[in-house]
C-alpha cells in the first residue's frame, strides 16, 4: 500500500483559521505589510468586520510611519477598529493634528475604547461631535496638554457635554490639568469616572450629579481662594450647592481621592455619603495629623462605611513644618503611628489585617498603609 505525501500551502487554510492567525499578529500593521493586496481573498479576510483590531499609535516616533497608518491602514478599518490610542507626546510631530487632517473619527463605528493623550483644547473641541456619535464607545480617556490657557466656561462646557451627553460611555477619564466644575447630571450609562482636579466646595455637586457611579477617582483642592483667577463667582450663572446630608451614593463601591490640604473631617463628611463602599484609597498632602490616627479611621469605618473591605493610604504626606527637626520626636511619631494601626503584618482592631510602612522626610511624614477586612 503506497502512501501519498500531501503538500499544503498557507493559502489552503480556511478563512476562519487565517483570521485566527491574523489575530496573533501584533501590531496589526504587520497584517497590511505582509498580506494586503496579495490577492482578493486576503483583502476580503483582512477587511472582514469579524477581525477586530486595536491600535496604539502613541509610540510611533516616525511621522512617515504614522502618516502610513492614517492614509493606508485606518481608512480600511472603519468596521474593525475597536480600540485607538493617539498622543501628542512625541516631540517630533503632533499625532492628533495629523490624524484630524486625514481621518474623521466618526467613521469608526465599531470603536469601543479611545485614548487621546496630551490633546489640545482646540483639537478636543473639533473631535467632540464625532466622539458623541460613537454609539459603541465604552471607554474614553482624555489627557489634555494644558487647560490653563482655556476659558473656564469653555472647559466646563466640554467636560459636562462628555459627562452627560454620551449614551454608551461607561468609563470616563478627564485629566484637564486644571480644576473644572461639573454642573450636568451624568449619563445613566456612566459607571466609572476619573477627574484630575476639582475644589472641595464642588464635591457635593459632583456626588449629587454622579450618584449612579460605581467607581470614582478624584483629586480635590481645599479652596478656590488660593486661585482667585478661577473663582466661579465671576461666572454668569451661579451653581446650586447641595448639602452632603441629602446625598446618597448607593452604587459607589470604589472611591479614590487625592487631597491637597483637606482635613480628616472633610474626608469623614464625604464618606458619610458612601454607605456601601468596598474599597477606599487616599493619597496627597495634608496638614492634619488626624490622618495618622488609626482609632479615628476605625471609628469612621464602623459608623459610616460598614461594608468596607479594603483601605489604602498611598504615600500620604502629612506636613510637619519645623516640628520635624528632633530625631527622638521623629522616632516616637513613627512608633505611635505604627502602633495606632497595629504592628506590621498584624491585626488592626477586630476585623483588619494591615501592612504599613512609614517614612520621615524633610518637613513631612509619609504614610503608606494597606488594610484588608478579614
pLDDT in tens, 230-243: 333 333 333 344 46
Mapping DSSP to helix (H, G, I), strand (E, B) and coil, where does residue 143 land?
strand
In the chain, domain spans = 13-51, 253-374
Per-residue pLDDT, averaged over 337-343, amounts to: 79
pLDDT in tens, 78-117: 888 999 999 998 776 889 999 999 899 999 999 999 999 9
Q: How are beta strands 279-286 and 310-319 bridged, if at all? A: parallel
pTM of the model: 0.84
Q: Residue holding cell 485607538?
A: 84
All three cell numbers of 180: 473644572
Asked if 267 and 257 touch (Cβ cutoff 8 Å), the reply is yes
Q: What is the DSSP track for 3-18?
A: --PPP--GGGS-HHHH
All three cell numbers of 87: 498622543
For 1-15, letters b (16+ CB in 10 Å) and e give eeeeeeeeeeeeeee
Contacts of 121 (CB under 8 A, 6+ apart): 144, 147, 149, 150, 154, 155, 158
Confidence of residue 9 (pLDDT cuts 50, 70, 90): confident
Amino acid at each position: 500500500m503506497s502512501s501519498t505525501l500531501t503538500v499544503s500551502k498557507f493559502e489552503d487554510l480556511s478563512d476562519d483559521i487565517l483570521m485566527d492567525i491574523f489575530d496573533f499578529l501584533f501590531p496589526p500593521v504587520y497584517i497590511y505589510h505582509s498580506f494586503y493586496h496579495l490577492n482578493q481573498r486576503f483583502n476580503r479576510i483582512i477587511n472582514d468586520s469579524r477581525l477586530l483590531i486595536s491600535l496604539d499609535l502613541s509610540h510611533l516616533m516616525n511621522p512617515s510611519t504614522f502618516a502610513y497608518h492614517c492614509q493606508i491602514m485606518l481608512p480600511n478599518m472603519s468596521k474593525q477598529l475597536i480600540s485607538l490610542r493617539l498622543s501628542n507626546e512625541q516631540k517630533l510631530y503632533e499625532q492628533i493634528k495629523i490624524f484630524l487632517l486625514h481621518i474623521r473619527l466618526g467613521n469608526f463605528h465599531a470603536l469601543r475604547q479611545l485614548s487621546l493623550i496630551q490633546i489640545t483644547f482646540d483639537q478636543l473641541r473639533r473631535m467632540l461631535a464625532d466622539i458623541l456619535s460613537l454609539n459603541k464607545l465604552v471607554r474614553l480617556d482624555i489627557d489634555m496638554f494644558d487647560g490653563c490657557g482655556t476659558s473656564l466656561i469653555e472647559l466646563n462646557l466640554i467636560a459636562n457635554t462628555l459627562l452627560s451627553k454620551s449614551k454608551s460611555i461607561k468609563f470616563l477619564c478627564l485629566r484637564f490639568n486644571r480644576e473644572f466644575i461639573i454642573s450636568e447630571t451624568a449619563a445613566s450609562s456612566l459607571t466609572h469616572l476619573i477627574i484630575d482636579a476639582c475644589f472641595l466646595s464642588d464635591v457635593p455637586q459632583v456626588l449629587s450629579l454622579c450618584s449612579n457611579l460605581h467607581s470614582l477617582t478624584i483629586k480635590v483642592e481645599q479652596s478656590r481662594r488660593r486661585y482667585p483667577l478661577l473663582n466661579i463667582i465671576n461666572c454668569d450663572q451661579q451653581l446650586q450647592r447641595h448639602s452632603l446630608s441629602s446625598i446618597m451614593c448607593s452604587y459607589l463601591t470604589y472611591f479614590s481621592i487625592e487631597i491637597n490640604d483637606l482635613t480628616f473631617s472633610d474626608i469623614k463628611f464625604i464618606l458619610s455619603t458612601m454607605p456601601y463602599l468596598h474599597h477606599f484609597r487616599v493619597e496627597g498632602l495634608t496638614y492634619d495629623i488626624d490622618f495618622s490616627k488609626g482609632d479615628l479611621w476605625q471609628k469612621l469605618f464602623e459608623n459610616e462605611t460598614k461594608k468596607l473591605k479594603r483601605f489604602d493610604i498611598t504615600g500620604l504626606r502629612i506636613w510637619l513644618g519645623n516640628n520635624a527637626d528632633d530625631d527622638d520626636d521623629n522616632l516616637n511619631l513613627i512608633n505611635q503611628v505604627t502602633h495606632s494601626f497595629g504592628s506590621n503584618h498584624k491585626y488592626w482592631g477586630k476585623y483588619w489585617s494591615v501592612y504599613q510602612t512609614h517614612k520621615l522626610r524633610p518637613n513631612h511624614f509619609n504614610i503608606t498603609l494597606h488594610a484588608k477586612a478579614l
